[in-house]
Amino acid sequence: MYKPLIVTIFVAALLPLSARAADRECHCGLRADVALDGDAVELRGDDGVYRLEGDRLIHDGREVRLDARQHAAVADYRRGMQSLVPQVSGIALDGAMLGLEAMTMTFAALGNDPDDLHKYERRSEKLGEKIHARFNGRELRRDRLGAYGDDNELDAEISDMAEDFAADISGSVTSLVFTALIHPGRIEARADATERLVEQRIQPKADALEARAEPLCEEFARLDALEPLIGIDAITQHDAGGDAHAHRHGFTLSF
């Protein structure tokens, strides 16, 4: 009797983190912040600032001498990043907004207080505005919090909202369980309807996100293969059994 209800809660909890798991796993991360500056690309990491302009490579303000193969690799890498950054940023933005949608939808279906629902709708709207500003399509940051003041505030806001949501929804679920003891058919129908709603509205969007993310793995791998020739190290790839500690220290696109 309680299975649909449990499934709904877990679907809503997991969607903000990633799209559905694919048959193959891909973990790509960054060791440097990547920023697009017009047609140029800047990489800011522990080894300084690299700037790629046309087929030229500039390290901390000084141009690096390159041979013909390296010049071609720099131009290829720069074009690849110009295409990759807005795509990854867009997926991150849409994934975050999908998580907010799933959270609000779940609370609307399982919550018992309209005022609480309006409260979460308002918080989600304000948080969505900040998320749009954060994922602007022109940069990717290696650290989740990074060296940017607004990220600490945004991260705290997301954590606070998730904690409040968990506390409020747990009270509603407890109430629903007691209701189920008295009116089992009513709670079963409500849970089934909620699960169907999540599947119909959220799952297709999650599938679309996954489809957009899959080709990016190959592009990350291609650019990573160019880095030794150029003399930079901004991209890292992890296998499924890789060190979890490494994942915590960089932006990671995982599916």
The three state secondary structure string of 47-102 is: CEEEEEECCEEEECCEECCCCHHHHHHHHHHHHHHHHHHHHHHHHHHHHHHHHHHH
Do β-strands 62-63 and 56-59 pair in parallel, antiparallel, or remain unpaired? antiparallel
Residue 239 has what pLDDT? Answer: 56
**139 beta partners:** 35
DSSP3 helix / strand / coil % (the chain, rounded to 5): 65, 15, 25
| Listed residue (26, 239, 198) closest to 101, CA to CA | 198
pLDDT at 242 exceeding the cut of 80: no
| Listed residue (143, 164, 179, 132) closest to 45, CA to CA | 143
The pTM score is 0.70
Point out the least confidently predicted range of 32-36, 199-203, 222-226, 229-233: 199-203
Mean pLDDT of the chain: 74
**Region 229-251: what's the mean pLDDT?**
64
pLDDT at 169 exceeding the cut of 80: no
Cα 78 to the center of its chain, rounded Å: 23
Of 248 and 108, the one with more pLDDT: 108
**Region 237-241: what's the mean pLDDT?**
59
pLDDT level of residue 11 (50, 70, 90 thresholds): very low
Q: Is there a contact between 26 and 91 (Cβ–Cβ < 8 Å)?
A: no
pLDDT at 24 exceeding the cut of 60: no
d(CA 228, CA 69): 12
Read off the pLDDT of residues 130-164 as tens digits, 9 standing for 90 and up: 888 878 889 988 764 333 334 566 667 777 777 77
Q: What are residue 65's phi and psi, to 5 degrees?
A: -75, 130
d(CA 76, CA 224): 12
Q: What are residue 140's phi and psi, to 5 degrees?
A: -130, 135
Residue 77 has what pLDDT? Answer: 98
pLDDT at 67 exceeding the cut of 50: yes
Residue 56 has what pLDDT? Answer: 98
- What's the order of all strands across the beta sheet hosting 48-53? 62-63, 56-59, 48-53, 40-45, 33-37, 139-140
Cα separations (Å) of 166 from 5, 143, 163? 15, 26, 5
